[in-house]
C-alpha cells in the first residue's frame, strides 16, 4: 500500500472530511468522528502504519490498549454514556484504528452493535464540535 493512500498516514484531505483531530496520545492519535449519532464517538488510530494489533510488539500493543482505556475513561467523564462500545474492523481501511462509541440507554441501537454508517447521519454545529472536543480533552 502506498502510504499517501492510507487515510491515517497520508490522505489528510479525506481524514479531515470525516474527523476532527483531538490529541496525540501515547502511541496513537485521537479524532472526533464528525458523524455524531453517538454523541462523543471517536476514532483512535495507531501513530505508525500497522494493519493488525498482532503486528505490534507486546509493549506497543500494551501502550495502544492503554491509550484506548484512557480515551474510554475520558468519554465516560465527558458524556456519561450507559455503555462504551469499541470496534476494530479495518476490512476496507488497512490501518490499525478503533472506534470508541458511547451509547445511551434510550439512544440509537442501544443493546446491539453500533452502526458504522447511520442513515440519516447526524452532524453538529462548529460550536457543538468544539464543546464536545473540549469536554473530551479536559478528561484525557
**What tens-digit pLDDT sequence spans the chain (140 residues)?**
667 789 999 889 999 999 999 999 999 999 999 999 999 999 999 999 999 999 999 999 999 999 999 999 999 999 999 999 999 987 888 999 999 999 999 999 999 988 888 999 999 999 999 999 999 999 99
CB contact at 8 A, 126 and 132:
no
Q: What confidence score (pLDDT) does residue 86 get?
A: 96
Residue 97: count other Cβ atoms within 10 Å of its Cβ.
21
pLDDT value at residue 1: 60
What pLDDT does residue 62 have? 98
Domains of the chain, CATH where assigned? 17-139 (3.30.428.10)
Spatial separation of the C-alpha atoms in residues 37 and 114, rounded to whole Å? 10
Radius of gyration of the chain (CA): 15
Amino acid at each position: 500500500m502506498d502510504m499517501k493512500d492510507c487515510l491515517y498516514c497520508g490522505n489528510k484531505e479525506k481524514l479531515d472530511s470525516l474527523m476532527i483531530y483531538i490529541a496525540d496520545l501515547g502511541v496513537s492519535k485521537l479524532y472526533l468522528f464528525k458523524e455524531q449519532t453517538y454523541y462523543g464517538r471517536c476514532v483512535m488510530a495507531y501513530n505508525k502504519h500497522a494493519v493488525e494489533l498482532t503486528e505490534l510488539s507486546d509493549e506497543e500493543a500494551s501502550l495502544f490498549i492503554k491509550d484506548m482505556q484512557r480515551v474510554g475513561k475520558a468519554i465516560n467523564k465527558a458524556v456519561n454514556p450507559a455503555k462504551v462500545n469499541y470496534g476494530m474492523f479495518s476490512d476496507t481501511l488497512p490501518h490499525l484504528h478503533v472506534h470508541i462509541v458511547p451509547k445511551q440507554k434510550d439512544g440509537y441501537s442501544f443493546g446491539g452493535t453500533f452502526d458504522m454508517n447511520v442513515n440519516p447521519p447526524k452532524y453538529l454545529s462548529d460550536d457543538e464540535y468544539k464543546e464536545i472536543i473540549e469536554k473530551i480533552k479536559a478528561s484525557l
